[in-house]
Chains A and B, each alone.
Chain A
Amino acid sequence: MKNSAKDVIRIGVFICDCGSNIAGYLEMKELVEYAKTLPNVAFVQENLYTCSEGGINEIKVAIPRENLNRVVVASCTPRTHEPLFMSACEEGGLNPYLFEMANIRDQCSWVHMREREAGTERAKVQIAMAVAKAAKLRELSRIQLSLSHRAMVIGGGVAGMSSALALGNMGYEVDLVEKKGRLGGILNELNMILPSNEPPENLVNSLVSRLQDHSKIAIHTESVVTKTEGYVGNFVATFQEKGVEQKIKCGAVIVAIGAQSLKPEGLFNYDGQKVITHLELESQFKAGTVNAKNVAIIQCVGSRCKERRYCSRICCMTAVKNAILLKEASPETKITIFYRDMQMYGVENEELFRKSKKLGVRYVTYDPERPPTFDGDSVSVYHLRMGRDIVTPVDLLVLSTPLIAQDDASEISTMLKVPINENGFFLEGHVKLKPLDFATDGVYLCGNARFPSTIREAISQGLGAASRAAGILSKEALFTSGIVADINPDTCCGCLGCVQVCPYGAINFIENRGVCQVNKVLCKGCGGCAATCPSGSARLDGFSNQQLYAQIEQAMAV
């Protein structure tokens, strides 16, 4: 291929109206005329939506027609649209790295909505900066990598089991790693599951038997993952299976470690006998040992408070479910639910709520400032409507405690380099755009590890995470980004400054030649080496000094 840097530079500038998002606040005609005056610009076009099929097509046809060797799009943010425009360039016959964006929406028209003139001036500068950088861009190439088509699922609860089974059914080999002795997670501790009131064993046994019979799925119980290395497509995980160390290669990892129920130590004289949690009530149900005649249930115990500000989502429906089961077993049992707000969303939950009221379950609201108290025989609470305390005799007190993060969540977070929030739940890459992905490529999440969810939600998320992982596993090969560092071996003096700053361990010192070298597969393009290198030998392609200087000069030129 010809070295296009030596040819005459011909830049095409595409300026997007984004409907009225940009055109409503900036003088588009002025931007177009201004762009035409910039050095090396050969073609300028305004589009209603550059990212629409029509707009993309205009880029593709303009490249050969106008003989363009650089493309600049002035529109929204490269964080969402750069890949789309880069592939348009590629389809138009241009190396995708000969592309640059000017952000004139998110960082211009939307933040200067009441300053049309000054906003337009800023947009001009941002376009001039992008054009100046574009003139300095070089062709870059991506590196092709092989990958493992195997997946590892950490956690054998309902989310992890659903995920593993879905991947196995798609034909991928799966290692399902569970720390306990049996699969099923928190389902193993439940009595009946909503909304159909069936025993959880039906679901667990069906999943377990399908997993066990599956030729693609290996189940590892009593196994703890101790180490993961590598990157998307090529992870190596080490785990201890019944005390024996195992190593597996996998292309994707799904985190499905679930959550645990809070033990309300120190609250309402919790003792596990007369004062219990819902999980303990459910095991009493199973054993058939419930015989209380006056039952009280208190909601939001240990949640929506100073220590845990979140709502655990599933406790309201659990309380109503168990109240109905108690009433159905013995209609004369008196049940009172003390609540702050009942969150019975959806058709089925609302139906259950009404059913419980019909059966005679009493609901009493309480003010979090004046919570109920328990003296061992009765619950007293300030009744908001009566304006005085009421006393309810109780021989069984059930506390609705939230699900909290697993004890090993933070360990796993550090191991996989994926974030957790202040409550220890795993944090997705983006609430809406990447709800089951982590920001780290190749690692996914589902179920209670992410946030308290119903069984149905955990299954959906497990299936979703499996299909996200399959998006990687189904690929023949992976490509790295072209934006990686490079070290000029002729000028490198081997000072190891770059080796010390590289956070990814991507730079090696080649002893016999006395120089440093970048492993382009591990490099993430942060540019720390380039900023550190005292001899200017390290360069980050796509963000080189020359390119940044060109932008800085233009930023000040107007």
Chain B
Amino acid sequence: MSESQFEPKIVGFLCNWCAYAGADLAGVSRLQYPPNLRTIRTLCSATVGPHQILKAFQKGADGVFVGG
């Protein structure tokens, strides 16, 4: 795969009360960003432990975003 075709897959764990709300706000404000993110809502970033992050990498994620 050449560099120009590389499309990273990024898993985002977003806290319901802040980062997830921020991602919603990006939508409400019609801010445009590349569609490489897949979001998972958690009730707090504290829900996200090493297990979840490692699992994402194990399954082939190119990046993990924890927002909280």
Contact surface of A with B, Cβ cutoff 8 Å: 77-79, 103, 105-115, 118-119, 121-122, 125-126, 129, 439, 483, 501, 524-528, 530-532, 540, 542-543, 545, 548-549, 551-553, 555-556
Contact = CB atoms under 8 A, between A and B. Distances in A.
Given A112-B35, A115-B35, A540-B47, A552 B52 contact: yes
A174 to B, nearest CB: 31
14 contacts: A77-B20, A103-B24, A107-B23, A108-B27, A111-B27, A111-B35, A125-B38, A126-B39, A483-B43, A526-B46, A532-B49, A540-B43, A551-B40, A552-B40
Contacts of B32: 111-114
Given A107-B23, A112-B35, A552 B42 contact: no
B31 interface: yes
Contacts of A552: 11, 40, 52, 55-56, 59, 61
* Interface majority SS (helix, strand, loop, mixed), chain B: mixed
A129 B43 CA distance: 17
Interface in B7-63: 9, 11, 16-17, 20-21, 23-24, 26-28, 30-35, 37-44, 46-49, 51-52, 55-56, 59-61
Given A125-B38, A552-B52, A79 B47 contact: no
Interface residues of B, number: 36
Contacts of A112: 32-33, 35
A527 B40 contact: no
Contacts of B59: 552-553, 555-556
Nearest to B46: A528
Given A126-B38, A545-B51, A555-B61, A111 B33 contact: yes
B9 A555 contact: yes
B24 A77 contact: yes
B2 to A, nearest CB: 19
A527 B41 contact: no
Given A79-B24, A105-B27, A553-B59, A122 B35 contact: yes
A549 B43 CA distance: 16
B57 to A, nearest CB: 10
